Structure 1
Amino acid sequence: MPFRLSIRQVVSRLILIFSISALLGFLVGHILLVMLLAALAIIAYQYKHIFLLSTWLWKTKSISPPDAQGTWGRLFDGLDRLVRKYRRKQKRLNERLRRFRDGAEAIPDAGIVMGQDLTIQWANKRAARLLGVRWPSDQGQRIDNLLRAPEFAEYLEKAKFELPCMLASPVNAEIQLELRFMDYGQEHILLLARDVSKVHRVEEMRRDFVANVSHELKTPLTVVRGYVEMIQATDGEFDAHWQQAFNTIENQVTRMDRLVEQLLVLSRVEVNTEDETKQVLVVPDMLNQLMKDAHWLNQEKHHEITADFDDRVGVLGVDTEIKSAFANLISNAVAYTQANGKITISWQRFGNKAKFTVKDNGPGIRPEDVNRLTERFYRVDKSRSRNTGGSGLGLAIVKHVLHHHNAELIISSEWRKGSEFSIVFAESSVVEL
């Protein structure tokens, strides 16, 4: 039962004790002396239990409080109940903490819990094997004091944590890591480092395979094209159906040659991450040349192509890559917009950024297809792509080019009403001409 001590109870007991002591003093003839002895006894009794409580709290290691009777006994029982309740709660918390640590140690990734100032507060054992971060010896250290790779410092400076950071392990340079930052509660940051060495090697093998196969296909395609052109030059020596067959062969060789060329371009832009080759590009002049190419491609469909270029805006980039990205968007608009359609091409300031836009009134793109347009070989309508010579690599090339140039591809489209493809260059890439 809960114990309650009221002032009324205390006052009543004191009155009872002093009344009895006064009665005894009256009987022996020393009322004040007996009452003084009673007060001293009360004080001694209270201080005895205070000393017992103080010794138990600060000196002994016993879990249970000392034994006592009366009011102090009830108080010690209450303390004992609180201690046991606290120990049960602590046991449950320790069990939860143990399960959390077991779970954190079981994950295949390195995990580091940091404060908002990037100081390490906890790390699992995997972090020591992949990142060289050891807990608790490295507790309180800033993560950038332990991971001193330039790309990691640049990643922290940009603070674009929605994208991963690719980093070679400081423990083993052959291990390629993917680092991700995420919020952990309100005051902490969680860093996860995943070993992507196998994926990285497979990706390198895929790029090498595509590049090698593409190079190997160039020679036989050139030979086939040469013989077909030689045969076509001999007028009248073959029947009409043979001439038609040779024309078909030439068209397919041309299509195959275009596919190989795009594979080579894709392989090149995937591995080209060097910034030293970037230079100031006069974008309006480049677009004027691309406009001439677009008008040549537009001889059959007779599109209405309009242009609006700001001659004062240029970008810092690789000439061949930027030109390839712009040309892909323009040629797509020409290829997929119906005859006599409208195409608008613009290059303008966009706040502190620069924006290249190709807008058409073509058939548009379904919402479920928009997010997949930049995948390799993905085509919204395969039959239509074959008719237009599409390979499904154009926008994949654009995506990789923009990744190298700190730019973003924005696609907006309304089914059966047209599409708008925009490339937005960051302020750091924009230059005044």
Structure 2
Amino acid sequence: MSRLWRRELWRLAALVAVGALVGWPFALIGTGVAVGLGLYLFYQLRQLHALQEWLTHHPHDEPPAASGLWGELFDRLYRYQKGQRITQRRLRDTLRRIQESSEAMRDSVVMLDRHGDMEWWNSAAERMLGLQPAHDRGQHITNLLRDPRFVDYFHARAYSEPLTLSSPIDDNMILQFQITLYGDDERLLMARDITRLHRLEQMRRDFVANVSHELRTPLTVLTGYLETYGDMAELLPDRLSRGIGQMQSQTRRMQNLVNDLLLLSRLENDRGGLDDVRLDPASLLEAVRRDAEALSAGQHHIEVEIAEPRGLRGSEKELHSAVSNLAFNAVRYAGEGSHIVLRWRPWKGGACLEVEDDGEGIDPLHIPRLTERFYRVDKGRSTATGGTGLGLAIVKHVLLRHDARLEIDSRLGEGATFRCLFPVERLIATNDEIASTSNAARQSGSA
């Protein structure tokens, strides 16, 4: 470009010089220079007009013919436009393929801008969510999905887990919503129809609940007769006496399994909250400690530590069951002579019910599956200790009903810690704190 600029400057200088020479014989050197500059300006304006006409009316045609600096400018603009058209064509083709593939999906796909307004969606979203292109484009997603649970899910920006709700246009259709962040804080909303899976899961729950309930009557009959025969053991042959003892043991194990299945079924199907009361965690842990010591029969050292003064709001029966399961697991699997601590302490704004032992520990490989039903780290040992394989599943569901979660920390040979983490909304101030707050309010009002 420097060579072209020098040529352009030489052209300007030549026009000025010619104008000056033409005007010199007539003593009009200034007029001649002005004429030369005018001709140069006219040439530049003509090229600008040609550029404007080309870009405005014929941008896809060949550029106007020109030489020098203007010719180079026209050529560069033409090559840039050509490259941009190729890039745009590729982007349009890519976007078209993405839209076609999205249209072929059975799941709903909705693209949201950074404000949450709907920009584009596929036909499945129209069927599942009732979106209408003529009215809903540009609307905020919460204007369509007004369920408070979805609104909270959308604004929480914690999208690691999906949300299950009914379709806004059909209560019988169950949808699983998942939001993904991308680009400039934009969102991709996907909704999957899980009605069939939901019905199958409900059928499974009903089947387990019904079978467990129906098993209680025959087990009760068997238990009654076995107790009667057990009282007459001295009158029976030794082989028959041993058989009755084994049958009693297995019947008790079956009863425990049925009771746990029924409890799990109730936890899954009931929404809870009706039996929420103010609990004293210290009293709760002390009651669990006594039960655990009875199970331990002096083989473990069990103690309670209280470091959180606030109380807890929840179901006493359910929380007692959850903490008991954790404590009994520690007694069964930590090993003889282990030290077990039942602890209530603060935890990141909320509070934590904690069961810690210094026993054999658990391989971290098993931790993600510990809350699955009937999952056992050591099947032989679990059977020998009388476990049903449902204890941690019960703990998980109890905590879900209390807005809490279970956290497990363990290493082989380093013991295990099971934490029940409760949010601050589940905590209740002590009487001293309530009195202090009331006094502060009264003093503020008097001031």
Q: Is TM-score (shorter-chain normalized) higher than 0.5? A: yes
Structure 2 residue aligned with 1:283: 281
1:417 and 2:414 correspond: yes
**Alpha-carbon distance between aligned partners in 2 of 1:74 and 1:159, rounded to the nearest angstrom:** 52
Aligned match of 1:215: 213
304, 311, 314: which is aligned to 1:314? Answer: 311
Q: Tell me which residue corresponds to 1:339.
A: 336
In the superposition, relative to structure 1, how do residues 31 and 361 fare at CA in structure 2: closer, same or farther (>3 Å)? Answer: closer
Residue 391 (structure 2) aligned to one of 370, 390, 394: 394
1:240 maps to: 238
1:258 matched to which residue of 2?
256
How far apart, CA to CA, are the structure 1 residues paired with 2:316 and 2:156?
25
Q: Secondary structure at the match of 2:353?
A: strand
1:242-272 deviations in Å (ceiling 9; x for gaps): 0101111111111111101101111111122
* Counterpart contact for 2:174–2:195, Cα < 8 Å: yes
Q: Which amino acid aligns with 2:372?
A: E
Residue equivalent to 1:131: 129
Instruction: Compare the two structures and name the one with the higher helix fraction.
Output: 2
Q: Distance in 1 between matches of 2:346 and 2:72?
A: 81
Contact 2:341 2:355 in 1 (8 A): yes
In the other structure, the counterpart of 2:366 is: 369
| C-alpha distance in structure 1 between counterparts of 2:310 and 2:27, whole Å | 114
Partner of 1:407: 404
Amino acid at match of 1:96: T
* Contact 1:313/1:349 (<8 A) preserved: no
RMSD: 3.0
Spell out the pairing of 1:16-415 with structure 2 (5 A cutoff): 16=14, 43-58=41-56, 60-61=57-58, 63-65=60-62, 67-71=64-68, 72=70, 75-134=73-132, 137-156=135-154, 158-299=156-297, 301-309=298-306, 312-350=309-347, 352-415=349-412
Give the secondary structure class of the aligned counterpart of 1:171.
coil
Unmatched runs of 5 consecutive residues or more in structure 1: none
Whether the 8 Å contact between 1:168 and 1:177 is mirrored in structure 2 is yes
Q: Can you list the C-alpha shifts for 1:94-115, whole angstroms capped at 9, x where unaligned?
A: 1222223233333332222323
For residues 53 and 348 of structure 1, the distance between their equivalents in structure 2, rounded to whole angstroms, comes to: 77
Q: How many Å separate the matches in 1 of 2:300 and 2:72?
A: 96
Q: 1:151 to 1:36 in 2, by over 3 A?
A: closer
For the residues of structure 2 that align with 1:400 and 1:271, how far apart are their CA atoms? 11
- Structure 2 residues not aligned, in runs of 5+: 431-447
Do the aligned partners of residues 45 and 374 (structure 1) sit closer, same or farther apart at CA in structure 2, a change above 3 Å counting?
Answer: same
Aligned positions, number: 429
User: Identity of counterpart residues, as a percentage?
Assistant: 37
Task: Name the SS for the 1:343 alignment partner.
Answer: strand
Please give the secondary structure, in 2, of the residue aligned with 1:6: helix
Compared with structure 1, are the counterparts of its residues 432 and 14 closer, same or farther at alpha carbon in structure 2 (3 Å cutoff)? closer
Q: Which moved more, 1:78-87 or 1:173-182?
A: 78-87
Shift of 1:404: 1.2
- Pair 1:385–1:14, CA change in 2 (3 A): closer
TM superposition score normalised by structure 1: 0.88
- 8 Å CA contact 1:112–1:124 kept in 2: the answer is yes
Deviation at 1:25, TM superposition (A): 8.3
2:346 & 2:35 partners in 1: Cα distance?
98
Instruction: Tell me the amino acid that sits aligned with residue 418 of structure 1.
Output: G
